[in-house]
Amino acid sequence: MSSDSEVDPLTRRALFEQVRRHTGIVMNERKWPMLDGRLRRRLQALALPGYREYLGLLEATPSEVRDFVDLVTTNETSFFRTPRIWHYLAEHFLPSWHDAHPHQPLRVWSAAASSGEEAYSVAMLCEEFRAAHPTFRYRILATDISDGILRSAATGHYRGRSATGLRQTHPALLEKYFSTDEDGTGIRANAALRAQVTFRQHNLYQPPRDVGPVELTLLRNVLIYFDTAGQQAVLENVRRAMAPDGVLIVGESESLSRFHAGFVFEQPLIYRQGTAHAQHA
């Protein structure tokens, strides 16, 4: 395997283009150490002498593209990340939506689901709401570009920071909706909670298929990985899958103010499709 200094700029650019081609994510020279760190062990496992040979393999072997996508995409999340979002959903969105649609199931899309903590957080919130409103029904679709991370998410099994974080911040919910491994470290979502979430592979850079119409979409901390054109394309794809007046939630460092995407600001991180129901938190 060639050293970092031997990977010429043309080969690096070709790898960046493969990332963009298959994921829509834009990388540049600043991202090279990260990309090299993720791919180098793969080349060693394949016994390839360098990245030029790996580029040839990507072109010739569709199955390798799946492994490539799994390696180059970032999967970092946690249960109930960004508390203000969950307060808004519990105290404002769910009650007002159910009042307006008492006989309709709520459809939720976790559009960059990663390892599933976000989708299961929504499910726990909905289960708590249903305990007080027995007629409430919901379904959650969780999608991600990475097949590998989705297979892990579907098991509902967590260790490390995810398990520790939920145990520290929401011990009652953990006790209610998760079982603990015999060694006391890992946790697993119970069957009833897992049954409410469907995991499916989807590239946000592509038009959605069999998605929607959804009333609530969480698209958090993913737009930052695209350039402006890619962000606009992703937002348009998401908009197409959403119901009129549906709510879109984005990440902490993201804003839609500079886009003509059909979404109206409601409060920080929260947008509504089409109509202005502006609230100020």
Q: What is the CATH number of the domain that holds 30?
A: 1.10.155.10
For residue 239, give its domain range.
Answer: 83-273
Q: What is the pLDDT, as a whole number, of residue 38?
A: 85
Q: What is the pLDDT, as a whole number, of residue 2?
A: 46
Indicate the Cα dihedral angle 27, 237, 99, 281, nearest 10°: 40
Q: What is the pLDDT, as a whole number, of residue 261?
A: 74
Residues of the chain whose pLDDT is less than 50? 1-5, 276-281
On whether both 147 and 264 belong to a single domain, the answer is yes
Q: What is the pLDDT, as a whole number, of residue 69?
A: 82
On whether both 91 and 167 belong to a single domain, the answer is yes
On whether both 172 and 263 belong to a single domain, the answer is yes
On whether both 175 and 53 belong to a single domain, the answer is no
Q: What is the pLDDT, as a whole number, of residue 276?
A: 43
Q: What is the pLDDT, as a whole number, of residue 20?
A: 86
CATH number reported for the structural domain that contains residue 151 in this entry: 3.40.50.150
Q: pLDDT for 105-138, tens place per residue?
A: 999 999 999 999 999 999 999 999 999 999 999 9
Q: What is the pLDDT, as a whole number, of residue 144?
A: 93
Q: pLDDT for 53-97, tens place per residue?
A: 999 999 999 889 888 887 887 666 789 999 999 999 999 999 999
On whether both 40 and 123 belong to a single domain, the answer is no
Q: Tell me how many domains the chain contains.
A: 2
Q: What is the pLDDT, as a whole number, of residue 76?
A: 66
| Long-range residue pairs from 49-54, CB within 8 A, at least 24 positions apart, any chain | 49/1, 49/2, 50/1, 50/2, 50/6, 50/7, 50/11, 51/2, 51/7, 51/11, 51/12, 51/14, 51/15, 52/11
Question: 């946000």: which residue's tokens?
Answer: 204
On whether both 138 and 22 belong to a single domain, the answer is no
